[in-house]
Amino acid sequence: MTVPAFGLGTFRLKGQVVIDSVKNALELGYRAVDTAQIYENEADVGQAIAESGVARDQLYITSKIWISHFSKDALIPSLKDSLKKLRTEHLDLTLIHWPSPNNAVPVAEFMGALLEAKQQGLTRAIGVSNFTIALMKEAIAAVGAENIATNQIELHPYLQNRKVAEFAKSQGIHITSYMTLAYGEVLKDPVINAIAKRHNATPAQVTLAWAMQLGYSVIPSSTQRANLESNLKACELRLTEQDMQQIAALDRGHRLTDPQSVAPAWD
């Protein structure tokens, strides 16, 4: 199964807020939902999916294993706990959320456990998140590139992460962009606004379309139904080569997510 190009993110959303966001998104036609153990919203997401009435086989559900569950004894039980909360027998994609701080649990150990989860049918695909080139190489050595569906990384016009993206592509590993709108910073960008005006589109639609046109998946979140609906229209927008070059020129290595407790030595 290939990773859908467009999905719903749920980072920082909890309780009724995330339930409403997921239900609205599914009603509007979203079919991929991204969550994580550390978001503490898996049960809410599971409730929203159950109440939506959308059949499980129509959905693509992703979650991420937190660093405290990386040991080979803990990873599969933690995934089973996530499945219970999400009210599903399997995930479509399960990711390692961050590298293990100070290599406390070796890459080979947690990737091996994740592959075992896939072999047990607990997840259809596996992958990584926030992995550098060096860490991707370790993961590939552990389970083979063919078993790594994606590397989910911070990627937006101000941090285009080209080295990581190019290495992943060379190995056949898909890139999923998170924070594609840079916490809304890019929505005020004059270059993106000018492109949006030319296409009679919103800056968010332009930015999401840019990432998808580069071959990446995107998982924007919103608590507003109107924004969820508007973002979805990015799937129909085609940017010109000139548009793409103008956005390419905005890269300035501006990283927004760099938690010292888990962040690797970035490329």
Helix, strand, coil distribution of the chain in percent, nearest 5? 50, 15, 35
Active site residue 216: no
71: confidence class by pLDDT, cuts 50, 70, 90: very high
Which residue is catalytic, options 39, 60, 178, 216? 39
**Residues 24-34: what's their mean pLDDT?**
98
Instruction: Provide the token pair at 202.
Output: 């919103």
Q: Return the biggest CA–CA distance within the chain.
A: 55
Instruction: Provide the token pair at 179.
Output: 């924070």
At 220 the pLDDT is: 98
Alpha-carbon distance 189 to 166, whole Å? Answer: 26
122: confidence class by pLDDT, cuts 50, 70, 90: very high
At 1 the pLDDT is: 63
Tens of pLDDT, residues 82-121: 999 999 999 999 999 999 999 999 999 999 999 999 999 9
What is the CATH architecture of 8-184+216-224? Alpha-Beta Barrel (3.20)
pLDDT at 148 over 70: yes
**Residues 156-174: what's their mean pLDDT?**
98
